[in-house]
Amino acid sequence: MNPGQVQYDYRHAIGGFFEFPTENARKLLPPHLHPVEPHHGQSVLSVMAFDFTAGSVDNIGPYGELVLSVHVAPRIEAGRPMARAAFYPFLVGTTTKESREHAIARWHLPHFPHNIDMNVTIGARDITVGAAHGGAPILDLHITDYQWETVEHYYQAYMHDASGSYMATMALRGRFSENEEERGGITLHPHAFTAGLDIDGVNTTPFRELWMRDGTQTFDPLETLQPGVR
């Protein structure tokens, strides 16, 4: 790792990309960001779940994390690796107070203010993550595998709060499987965690499924963006 980078180790990182109404996406984004539309009127909801084993800073220990994001256009700059995708995380949930406080302070990420529960079930060629809070279900995410390879992929995440606008560049390394076979799915439950979504408008079959195993997520130092700049 280079100086200033922060690394998180995970057993599993899974994600599904789901179409949902652009009208809903715009309500979740700050004014300077615009959603990516695979089809007119339809944007992309990303649902990611991580089973972290450790982090390189702040002694936060193992924890689970659930991230709801809207896809936005990546920033392209000379001399930097091309990002596979860019996200605006509009809500993050964690299973521990320590990990939540760490991510708020370091990354300016908006968090659900309570610990959530996450249950991971691994099958022969699939994985399911169930998330709940206070005994009430939040969502169930089911992801399937395809062919596996070892990769290093780059992504961007945008953050915005009362203190300003920020961007983080991250690298995910590990065993990777991706498919567009439409075998996975998601069930979204009415809950404070999903209140920003028009649940009935979300296509519950992902047009892309991602699964990474036994890898690392490495963040470069957070960049402060000037007003009006993406």
Q: Express each pLDDT in 60-76 by its tens digit.
A: 889 999 999 999 999 88
Q: Does 218 fall in a domain?
A: yes
Distance CA 148, CA 177 (A): 5
Q: Does 230 fall in a domain?
A: no
How large a percentage of the chain has pLDDT more than 90? 89
Q: Which pLDDT does position 230 carry in this prediction? A: 47
Q: Does 57 fall in a domain?
A: yes
Q: Does 38 fall in a domain?
A: yes
Q: Does 1 fall in a domain?
A: no
Q: Which pLDDT does position 35 carry in this prediction? A: 97
3-class secondary-structure state, position 88: strand
The total of other beta-carbon atoms located within 10 Å of residue 31's CB is: 8
For the entire predicted model, the pTM comes to 0.95
**CATH at residue 76:** 2.40.400.10
Distance CA 228, CA 230 (A): 7
Please determine, for residue 229, whether its predicted confidence score (pLDDT) is greater than 60. Answer: no
Q: Does 70 fall in a domain?
A: yes
**pLDDT tens-digit series, residues 10-23:** 999 999 999 999 99
Paired sense of beta strands 85-94 and 148-161, if any: parallel
Which range marks the domain in which residue 103 is found?
6-225
**Do the beta carbons of residue 66 and residue 131 sit within 8 Å?**
yes
CA nearest neighbour of 103 among 114, 88, 93, 118: 93
The total of other beta-carbon atoms located within 10 Å of residue 213's CB is: 18
Q: How many domains does the chain have?
A: 1
**Residue 206 or residue 229, greater confidence:** 206
